[in-house]
Amino acid sequence: MLRTLILRVENRPGALARITGLFSARGINIESLTVARTEDPTLSHMTIVVDLDDVALEKLVKLLDRLVDVVTVTVVDTREAVERELLLLKVRQEPGQKLELLKEAELFRARVVDVAPHSYVLEVTGDEDKLEAFIRVFEKYGILEVVRSGKVALARG
């Protein structure tokens, strides 16, 4: 089951390696990972998505918490956190399909961020379900490339 971890960590060299080392040493694959500075420049905010059962997750959280560089670690689900991901999609643009394509992009509040003679790049943000749906809808036009930022999550309240 996919689980989302939110970490606040010291913004220092080695911190990321120390954290990811705990996963790799145990053969746990990271589904997505984002790191960036926070309102406090000495702290980074990290969102990690992993596929783990409850028992394995509990052990992993304790190991993360044990790291000196990890200030806080929490496991959140969609009810407790706002989760967003950014997706860029390069889609084929055939003559005659332009209007329909733009209309469908509009439905997802996607924006066109690059226009080339035969393709568009669309930008969209949302949660997992919305992005999956977005990809499904645009498959019929011919997807050339998709890139996702990985999820960022922030606890509610």
Partner 1 sequence: MKRMKGTEIFVECLRREGVEVIFGHPGGAILPIYDRLYDAEIRHILMRHEQAAAHAADGYARASGRVGVAMATSGPGATNLVTGIASAFMDSVPMVVFTGQVPSTLIGTDAFQEADVVGITRPCTKHNYLVLRTEDLARTIREAFYLARTGRPGPVLVDLPKDIQLSECEFEYPEQVHLRGYRPVLDGDREAIRRAAVAILEAERPVIYAGGGVIASDGAEELRRLAEIGRIPVATTLMGLGGFPTEHPLSLGMLGMHGSWYANTAISRCDLLIALGVRFDDRVTGKLSEFAPTARKIHVDIDPAEINKNVRVDIPIVGDVRRVLSVLNAEMEGLVSTHGTAAWVRKRQQWLAQIAEWKRTYPFRYEYDERVIKPQWVIEEIARITQGEAILTTDVGQHQMWAAQYYRFKHPRTWITSGGLGAMGFGLPAAIGAWFARRDRPVIAICGDGSFQMTMQELAVVAEHRIPVKVVILNNFFLGMVRQWQQIFYNGRYAASDLRVSPDYAKIAEAYGLRGHTVRRPEELVGLLEQTLLASEPVILDVQVAAEENVYPMVPPGAAITEMILGPLETTAVADSKESIA
What does the binding site for partner 1 look like in residue numbers (CB under 8 A)? 9-10, 13-14, 17-18, 21, 25, 58-59, 62-63, 65-71
The nearer residue to partner 1, 12 or 98, going by C-beta atoms, is: 12
The nearer residue to partner 1, 25 or 115, going by C-beta atoms, is: 25
Angstrom distance (rounded) from CA 32 to CA 19: 13
CB of 92 to partner 1, least distance (A): 43
Angstrom distance (rounded) from CA 56 to CA 72: 18
Alpha-carbon separation of residue 98 from 2, 49, 90, 94, 95 (angstroms): 36, 36, 14, 7, 7
CB of 84 to partner 1, least distance (A): 26
Within the chain, what is the greatest distance between any pair of CA atoms?
58
The nearer residue to partner 1, 63 or 112, going by C-beta atoms, is: 63
CB of 157 to partner 1, least distance (A): 22
